[in-house]
Structure 1
């Protein structure tokens, strides 16, 4: 019973944070779609100067755990960027990598 009261006590804060969460998700999703499309097109290119950096980007982001990426971006770029910018920068490339690998096949 105590768990339900804890959840109910956090509900106003969760409702207040919902618009920012939706904004960050939509913005990072669009950013990731653009990155993923460019990465997929570069990977399909016959030019090594385009294909190799796209492969390295995809390999780096797909090969490391998501939590490690978020920590690295937070402690690196998070000191420079404001809060919403950090969310977009951390989630955008992750989403773009997933989109790029799916679009390529």
Structure 2
């Protein structure tokens, strides 16, 4: 009786910095955040000190973002709407126009 041995699926873990960066990026790019031009990022128990400091450092170096460090250890980011002439626009061969997020 032949038994087939299934290969275990390879699971690639994201690093803490990648996971936090992805979460912050998706929060900033969320349609509601884009309309209101602010978002509050809460530090989760799974966010390590080094990762949190690195991502907050990168955000603090980003032009056009104002950061407010709140008493509950969350951070509120605010930004101004870009003027039409400052927006980056990509034009593809299909003539579709896509605006790129400013972050």
Q: Which structure has more strand as a fraction of its residues? A: 2
Q: TM-score, normalised by structure 2?
A: 0.29
Q: Which structure has more helix as a fraction of its residues? A: 1
Quick one: higher RCO (CA 8 Å, sep 6+), 1 or 2?
A: 1
The structure whose Rg is larger is 2
Q: TM-score, normalised by structure 1?
A: 0.28
